[in-house]
Structure formats: structure tokens, C-alpha cells
Chain A
Amino acid sequence: MSGATAAPGGDEDRLAARLAGDIRALFGRSLHIRTIDTGSCAVCESEIRLLLAPHYDLHRLGLFFTPAPRHADLLMVTGPVVRAMEVALGKTYTAMPEPKLVVAVGACPLGGVYEEDELVRGRLDRVLPVDVFIPGCPPSPLALLQGLLVAVGRLAEKVSALSFIAEQEAAP
């Protein structure tokens, strides 16, 4: 049930810390994001598009969208990785220069909606190395912002410390 990640448990945290530091130094406050839809229902796309609206205003954080993978630092993937999109996904990833980050958005690339079968791969980390997962169906724009900032290293990851066990009083 656990997703296939590259490094085993103990080294992972050290690597993550170093990576965060590196990424922060490299990308600073300017990051270019390339989105790709590998077969989603497009609701995640709507939420992503909303990030540019004045209410959330992605640009004030120094994050930008770009259509050209050659200019992109971060690949934002929605959808359950339909096999028909695998070639395009691979080519987009290859076309991005190093260093690059991959963010999986929504429940689909987390394997939460579709199982692997002859039409769909199901989980993104079966195809690409993923740096940050953003759960939600769809994740709200604020969740997306948090995910992007975690990827860049400006916010700390919160969910690993949570247990989802409520105290006796139900949380509002």
C-alpha cells in the first residue's frame, strides 16, 4: 500500500533536508511551473487556473506558469497517468532541464481513484520520481499553494506529523 519511493526510510529525511536547502538556494523566489494533464476530469485544472486569479495571485509568491518545458523548473501533474499520455509525459519531463521538481496534484496521481490496468498507470510515481504529493479531490487553491511552497522549501511539510486522531472534542 505504500507508494514506491526512491530511498528507504532513514536517509530520506536527510536527503529531503539537503534537497530543500539546495532547492531554496537555486529557485529562491522565482519558479516556473509547467502543468500537464494526464487524463484528469479537469477540476484540478480549474483549481490550478484559479491560482492566477487575483484572489490567490500566484505571482506575488514568485511562482509563474510557463507552457515551455525548457523554461520550467517544476512539473505539476494531474490525472491518473493514462497510458496514452505516457509518451507525452516522458517527453515533457525529459525536456525540462535539471534541476527539476515533480508535483502530483489530486487523488488521481496518488492512486486513489484508478487502479493500474490496460488503460491507465494509476500512480504517478510508477512513471516519474515525485517530489511532493498534494492530496485532495480537488485540492483547494490554498492547498495547492502550500504544496508548491513545500516543494520549493519555503514551507515545512505538516502532514507527516499529523495522526488524524481527534481529541475527545470534535474539531470544527
Chain B
Amino acid sequence: MALWFLRGLARQVVTTRYPAVLDPWAAALPTPPSFVPGRLTVEVARRLVESCPSGALWQADEELVLDVGACTACRTCQRVAPDAVALSGVFELAASSSVHLVKRIPIEGGER
């Protein structure tokens, strides 16, 4: 027990000061995707919807709908379409209503 404590001190492991200060390593946490609107075509959108293993992406009219609540941050969509999808880097996702978690992203290039 003492060794663990001393080792932590040596490696400068300290208690996080969240929410006052955000730790630098928080940037590497898995986060939901964000979409580059210019690159998001209908074909890309179709491939993204197919590939999402959690069913967090679907298409509604001219928009790609992302359910942040269903997203597990597995980055499959980012591997499928690396130009269109970036990691949002947002891990503070708490919402008072599930409506706030459903995001609509416009798809480029109409019907094709």
C-alpha cells in the first residue's frame, strides 16, 4: 500500500482538479464523431449508416442523424470515411433530455 503511494508520487500522479482544471490526458479519451459537412455525401452517409455497429447513425430526409446516446466511440465510422469523420474530442456529454442527444448533420449533394 505504501509502495503504491510512493510510486504515484514519483510519477506525479495526482488527483484530478476537474471541473476547475481539465487534465491534458482528457484529450485522448474516446469521444463521439463529428462530421465534416463538405465531405459528407449521400454515398458516404450510406456507408456510415451501414457500418455503425451500435445503430447510432441513420439517415432521415436530407440529414444524417447521430444519436450521441447510442454512440460507443468505437471509431468504426472514422475508419470507414476518414475524410468525412473526425473525432469530436467532446466527452462532456451529459444531457437533461434525450432530445438534446440527437444531432442532425446536413448531407451534401442532394439526391444521387
Contacts and interface: CB of A to CB of B under 8 A. Distances in A.
Interface of A: 1-3, 5, 12, 16, 54-57, 60, 107, 110-113, 123, 125, 130-137, 139-140, 142-143, 145-147, 149-151, 154-155, 157-160, 162-168, 170-172
Given A139-B93, A168-B38, 10 more contacts: A107-B69, A107-B72, A132-B95, A135-B70, A135-B71, A136-B93, A137-B73, A145-B19, A164-B33, A171-B86
10 contacts: A1-B65, A56-B16, A111-B98, A113-B70, A135-B101, A142-B26, A145-B19, A146-B18, A157-B95, A162-B88
Nearest to B58: A1
A171 B99 CA distance: 25
Interface string B68-98: 1111110000000000001111111111111
Contacts of A150: 94, 96
B102 interface: yes
Contacts of B33: 164
Contacts of A143: 29, 91-94
A128 B70 CA distance: 19
| 6 nearest A-B pairs in the assembled complex, by CB-CB distance | A112-B70, A3-B98, A110-B69, A137-B72, A170-B86, A147-B94
A16 B54 contact: no
